[in-house]
Amino acid sequence: MTREEVETIALALPATEKVVQWGGSDVYKVGGKVFAICGLSGGLSFKVTEIGFMVLTDEGGPGRQAPYLAKGSWVIVDLEDAEADDARSWLAVSHDLIAAKLTRKARAELGF
C-alpha cells in the first residue's frame, strides 16, 4: 500500500480529518482524537481491540506493537505488508473504537 491509498481509505470514514505532524506523519483523527498514523516508522499504526492486538502481533501476524502506543492496544503494520481490504477493515474498527470514546455531545455534533 501507499500513503495515498491509506489517505483515501481513512478520509472516506465519517468526520475524519487529516493533519501532518510528528515528523511528517499523516495523522487521522475523528473528533480531534487520533485513530491512525501513517508514516511513523514506515508503517500504518492504528488502535485495535484486545483480541485484534493478539491476532495482529502474534507470531506470523502482519503487525507488531506500535512504538509508544502499544499499551493502548495500538499496532503498526508495514505499508508494504498491508493489503487494501485489510487496511480498510483495520481503519474502520480503529475509527469506531475512538469515536465511541467521544462524549455524547461530540458524537452528536459529528453525526454519530
pLDDT in tens, 68-105: 886 789 999 999 989 999 999 999 999 999 999 999 99
pLDDT at 67: 84
pTM above 0.85, yes or no: yes
**Topology (CATH level 3) of domain 3-107:** Aspartate Aminotransferase, domain 1 (3.90.1150)
Pairing of strands 33-38, 63-65: unpaired
pLDDT computed for residue 70 by the predictor? 64
Sequence ranges of the domains in the chain: 3-107
- 25-78, pLDDT tens digit by residue? 999 999 999 999 999 888 999 999 999 999 999 988 899 999 888 678 999 999
pLDDT value, residue 68: 82
